[in-house]
């Protein structure tokens, strides 16, 4: 009974509506998804893998009042040293989760972030895409990116992360949160270029987000505290079960 309750407790976290499930190592199969780019041209994300470069992908929506802007700002700050260059060393793909977003909005966002990045000559390495609800749903489901629409506010509740793919479309790592130190981004881009998976620390961090979904930015200490809380709870429960079993054998 105790183990059943513990399993139910973990299951409730894992099935949360707003979360990221760790799909590291899975293959994107990018040709299965059709979107429109910022020029209104129908494309599949497969196009951006043909260069033989890793792909950095983010899910946002273009009229997001908070977390999306913070996420993309964090990405740009992490890329700011201009050591690895979009369009030369890797590709950036930003996909809207709002099916009502248009290529016109995508073009405006691309222009804004290119200016902020400070290298408008890298425009060919930046790709802002929009799509229909079904396609968005299939792609985000494949990558374990769970979000929901809040009809009361007219906004989307969603996690924040960057997805890094190898040139052969394997999900190499998922960087959680909204702040990405330059060394962290460069290291994971190099790992993806070498067609390897990210570090074990990245995988543990992904588990944090699987169990602890958020509505907007959440600081890392709270996620780690939640994970350690689950571990301690499990150890205590295990200890109780073992002690109970020993007592039964001793006095039974």
Lowest mean pLDDT, pick from 3-7, 76-80, 193-197, 211-215:
211-215
Predicted local distance difference test score (pLDDT) of residue 235: 77
Contact 157, 182 (CB under 8 A): no
Predicted local distance difference test score (pLDDT) of residue 139: 97
Predicted local distance difference test score (pLDDT) of residue 251: 61
Predicted local distance difference test score (pLDDT) of residue 216: 40
pLDDT at 204 over 70: no
Of residues 40 and 231, more confidently modeled: 40
pLDDT at 150 over 60: yes
Matching CATH number, 20-198, of 3.30.460.80, 3.40.30.10, 1.10.10.10, 3.40.640.10: 3.40.30.10
Lowest mean pLDDT, pick from 6-15, 49-58, 80-89, 144-153:
6-15
Domain boundary assignment for the chain: 20-198
Predicted local distance difference test score (pLDDT) of residue 209: 46
Predicted local distance difference test score (pLDDT) of residue 193: 96
| Confidence bin at 226 (pLDDT 50/70/90) | low
Predicted local distance difference test score (pLDDT) of residue 57: 98
pLDDT at 230 over 80: no
Cα-Cα-Cα-Cα torsion 204, 143, 23, 225, nearest 10 degrees, comes to 20
Predicted local distance difference test score (pLDDT) of residue 6: 45
Cut 0.85: pTM above it: no
pLDDT at 232 over 90: no
Lowest mean pLDDT, pick from 61-65, 136-140, 182-186, 233-237:
233-237
Predicted local distance difference test score (pLDDT) of residue 237: 75
Lowest mean pLDDT, pick from 2-6, 147-151, 176-180, 233-237:
2-6
């Amino acid at each position: 009974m105790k183990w059943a309750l513990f399993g139910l407790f973990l299951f409730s976290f894992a099935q949360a509506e707003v979360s990221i499930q760790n799909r590291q190592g899975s293959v994107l199969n990018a040709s299965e998804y059709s979107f429109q780019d910022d020029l209104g041209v129908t494309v599949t994300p497969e196009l951006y893998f043909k260069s033989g470069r890793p792909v950095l992908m983010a899910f946002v929506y273009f009229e997001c009042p908070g977390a999306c802007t913070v996420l993309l700002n964090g990405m740009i700050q992490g890329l700011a040293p201009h050591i690895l260059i979009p369009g030369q060393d890797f590709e950036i793909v930003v996909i809207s989760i709002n099916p009502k977003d248009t290529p016109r909005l995508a073009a405006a966002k691309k222009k804004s972030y290119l200016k902020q990045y400070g290298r408008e000559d890298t425009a060919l390495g930046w790709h802002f895409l929009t799509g229909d609800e079904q396609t968005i749903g299939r792609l985000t489901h494949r990558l374990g990116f769970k979000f929901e629409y809040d009809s009361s506010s007219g906004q989307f509740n969603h996690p924040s992360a960057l997805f890094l793919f190898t040139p052969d479309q394997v999900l190499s790592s998922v960087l959680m949160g909204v702040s990405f130190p330059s060394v962290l981004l460069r290291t994971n881009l190099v790992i993806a270029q070498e067609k390897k998976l990210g570090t074990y620390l990245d995988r543990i961090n992904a588990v944090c987000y699987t169990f602890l979904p958020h509505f907007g930015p959440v600081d890392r200490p709270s996620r780690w505290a939640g994970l350690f809380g689950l571990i301690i709870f499990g150890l205590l429960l295990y200890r109780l079960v073992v002690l109970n079993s020993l007592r039964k054998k001793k006095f039974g």
